[in-house]
Amino acid sequence: MAGQMFHTDVGRRVYDNMALLFPRSCPYRMMRIGGNTDGAYLIPDDLSGVAACFSPGVANFKWFEDELANLGIRCHMADFSSDADRLATPLMSGMQTFLKKWISPDPAENSISIDDWVNQLEPGEDDLLLQMDIEGAEYPNLLSVSEAVLRRFRILVLELHDIQVCHAAGEFLSRIAPVIQRISMFFQTVHVHVNNVGGSERIDGTGLEVPRIIEVTLLRKDRFPSAGHADWRQPVIPHPLDLDVNCPHIAPLCLSEEWCLSEESRQDWKQSAADVYGRKAGLTLFEVQERIKHLELENVSLRRRLDELSLLSRMLRFGKKMRQMF
C-alpha cells in the first residue's frame, strides 16, 4: 500500500502476504447463507452448476449446509467431535452426509484427507464449494490437498485462525504464508469478515490491523470474466449483509481502512464501520465520552464494565481517525 513504512524486510514480506487476502471487486453480488448467527457466511451469487459442498468442522450446527441443500446443493460434513444424532437439525436424506472423522493429511483411523473424502463422495469433475472451520488445522490441509481437487472448488469459505502470529514473523512466514500463497494462485478474495471473538493486533511498522480470526471468501479466478470490469461490485467491509458480531457478548470489531484497496471501498468503509459501532453502542461520540466518565463512578459488574469500556474505546479511536481524515 502506498505510504506504508516497514522497519524490516521481514515486515514487508508479512504485509505482502496479508495483502493477498485483501478483498477485490467481484462480478457477482454477495449473498448470506446460514441464517443470522455465527456460522453464516457471505458468498458470491455464483452457485449455478455447483454440485456439492464439503464442510469440515461443523460442530453441532449446519444452518449453512441446510440452506445450501434447500438450493439443491449436496452437502458433506465431517467432524470427529460431533455425531449425526447431535446435529441441531436432522440430516436431509439424499442431500446431506456426515462423517465422524477429523480432516487431516496424516492417515489415521479417525481421520481422512480432503482428497480421499472428495474422491469417495463426489468423483468426477463437477464444481464444488469448500466451507472450512477447523480451528487452525486448515493450514496443513490446504497445503496438502492436491491441485486437481483444490481447483474443483469454485468457492472457498475459510475461517483462518491464529493470524495474530503476524507479530511472530518467522512462524507466520513458515506456517501461514505458504497457504495464502498457494490459494492465491487459483483464487481471488472477494469478501473478508472479522470474527470478533479473538480481537486484533497491528503488524509492526504498518497501519494494518490484523484480526486473530478472519472469515475469508474466495472465488476461483476463472469465474472472473475477462471483460465488463466496470459492472463489478466493489468490496464493502463490513458488508451490509455481515453479522455485526459473531459473539454478541463481546465488543464489535471491524477491519481497518488499510484493507480497502479502492477509494470507493474506503468511503464505504467509513460509513459501514460507523454503522456497526453505532448500532452496538447506540451513542454519538460525545455521548461515548460522557458515558466513559459516568462508568468510572457507576457501580456495575466487572465484566459489563470491561466489555463496555472496550467498545467505547474502539469508538473513540474510530472517531479520532474520522476527524483526522477531514
Q: What is the pLDDT of residues 255-299, one digit of tens each?
A: 888 888 888 888 877 777 777 766 655 555 555 555 555 555 555
* Cβ neighbours of residue 61 closer than 8 Å, sequence gap 6 or more: 39, 87, 88
H-run or E-run covering 326: none
What tens digit of pLDDT does each residue of 80-116 get?
Answer: 999 999 999 999 999 999 999 999 999 899 999 999 9
**161 class by beta-carbon count within 10 Å (0-12 exposed, 13-18 middle, 19+ buried):** buried
C-alpha cell, 162:
491464529
Give dist(CA 40, CA 38) in Å, integer. Answer: 6
Q: What domains does the chain contain, in order, with CATH numbers?
A: 9-243 (3.40.50)
Q: Which residue has the cell 455464483?
A: 46
pTM of the model: 0.83
- How far is CA 142 from each of CA 18, 115, 156, 215, 258, rounded to the nearest angstrom? 17, 11, 11, 15, 26
With a cut of 70, say whether residue 24 has pLDDT above it.
Answer: yes
Average pLDDT across the chain, whole number:
85
Q: How far apart are CA 56 and CA 28, in angstroms?
A: 26
Q: Whole-angstrom Cα distance, residue 239 to residue 247?
A: 17
Phi, psi of 214 (to 5 degrees): -130, 145
Q: Express each pLDDT in 170-192 by its tens digit.
A: 888 899 999 999 999 999 999 99
